[in-house]
Each structure stands twice: as C-alpha cells, then as structure tokens.
Amino acid sequence: MRILVVQHDSELAAVISGCLRRIGYDVVVADNLTDADLELGGTVYHALVADRAQPDGDVLRLVAAHRRAGWTRPVLMLTALDSHAERVVLVEHGADDYLVKPFNTAELASRMRNLCRAPVIPDPASRLCVGDLEQGRRGGRFTRAGVPLFLTVTEAAVLQTLMLAGGALVTRERLAKDCADEQHQPESHAVDALIGRLRIRLGPPDLIQAVRGIGYRLVDPA
C-alpha cells in the first residue's frame, strides 16, 4: 500500500515515514500543499497522513477538495489541537481519524493499520449497487427499483458509507462521523435514529442489517 505523508517539518516527516515503512507501507512525502495536490491528482494512494498546519495553508482545504472530487481513501490528520470543536472540523472536512501532536509512533502505526483494514473502496466513477438500491456515478442520486429517493444530506452520507463498505460491517462510531452535524456526542442514539429513518425511506424488503452493539451493514435480500 502506498501512503502519502504531507508534512513540512523534515524531522517529523522522517519519523512518520520511517514508522510507516517499518510496518510495510510504501511512503511518499510532500512538504507543501501544492506538491500534495499534484501527487493525489497523478498517483494512486491508499491513504493520506497529513499535518493540518502547512506553510502554504490549511491541509483541510486540500482534503475537502479531493473528497468533493470523489477521493475516498482513509485520511489521518495530525493536529496540535485537542478539542471538541477541532474534532468536528476535521470530520466535516473529510478526516477519518486524527492524532494530537506530540504522538507515539506505536499509536500512529496502530491507527494506520486500523484505517487501512477498511474494505477496498470501489472506483467513485462507477455506480454503487446493493440489490435494487443504486447510487449514480460520482455520488449521484440514490434510487431504489428505479424510483428516486429523497434523502437529507446526513442520510445520504450514511447510506453512501454503507454502500461503499460493500456489505462489510460499518461500526456505529464510523457512522457517527457522518451524523456529526446532527449529534456530536458518539454515545448518543443519533446513528440508530437515522438508520430507522433510512429504513422507512428505503422501504421493504429491508436492506440494512444490524449487528447488535457494533454497527450496521447493507445486505442484498436476494
């Protein structure tokens, strides 16, 4: 797997890349946003590790732009701030996980292994299908049996996350990130409530399977 590290501090970049190489990843380092943008646009990377503060701007702008363009790979953000507000901002701009500086390389290795264990994500240019549920190319409209579904932004985000998992289990914690604009507290029942609304909107037969206490997956009833 190839990982892009965006880090302008050469000493910290060496620590991060050395850690990731020791656990088997191929690592490329970009020391500014311009080079990182070129790398993501021209090379296939399986994950991104990025320090939020860069000399030429906030790396969240880069992440958000590539997310809008359909880039779906895991993103681990490095930040000097550890606050509820910071966590919300990171998630809203496309981060999957974060580490607060200074951090332990063992924790960095563990976080990356966890992120890169996620199921292989289909090409975002293709349509996503589970049974008769379909999402059009590049994040287009959802339909079921050819009938358009009218979803809120958060409902659409959760449904897309489930579809991208390709039938694999998605934890409630992961889905909670898509619900961050509705309910920030991870211990809340926001995910369960939203799944209930999705089931109503999708109609029968039920495509969403619950795994008690863990999360949800999409299954084809056929």
User: In the chain, where does the domain assigned CATH 1.10.10.10 lie?
Assistant: 128-218
CB 105 within 8 A of CB 154: no
Query: How confident is residue 202, by pLDDT bands cut at 50, 70 and 90?
Result: very high
Calculate mean pLDDT across residues 94-113.
88
The CATH topology of domain 2-116 is Rossmann fold (3.40.50)
Mean pLDDT over all residues of the chain? Answer: 83
Report field, pTM of the whole predicted structure over 0.85: no
For residue 6, what pLDDT is reported? 95
Q: Could you please report the per-residue DSSP string of 86-127?
A: HHHHHHHTT-SEEEESS--HHHHHHHHHHHHTSPPPPPTTSP
User: Is a pLDDT exceeding 50 seen at residue 185?
Assistant: no
Q: 26-30, 94-98, 122-126, 203-207: which has the minimum mean pLDDT?
A: 122-126
User: In the chain, where does the domain assigned CATH 3.40.50.2300 lie?
Assistant: 2-116
Percent helix, strand, coil in the chain, to 5, is 40, 20, 40
Question: Rounded to whole angstroms, how far apart are CA atoms 72 and 46?
Answer: 9
User: Is a pLDDT exceeding 80 seen at residue 178?
Assistant: no
| In CATH, 128-218 is 1.10.10.10 | yes
Q: DSSP secondary-structure letter at 43?
A: S
User: Is a pLDDT exceeding 50 seen at residue 121?
Assistant: no
- 219: helix, coil or strand? coil
Strands (E), 113-219: 128-130, 133-135, 142-144, 147-148, 170-171, 208-211, 215-218
φ/ψ of residue 161, rounded to 5: -60, -45
For residue 188, what pLDDT is reported? 53
Neighbours of 167 (CB within 10 A): 13
For residue 181, what pLDDT is reported? 47
Question: Rounded to whole angstroms, how far apart are CA atoms 150 and 202?
Answer: 10
Q: 81-85, 114-118, 148-152: which has the minimum mean pLDDT?
A: 114-118
User: Is a pLDDT exceeding 60 seen at residue 120?
Assistant: no
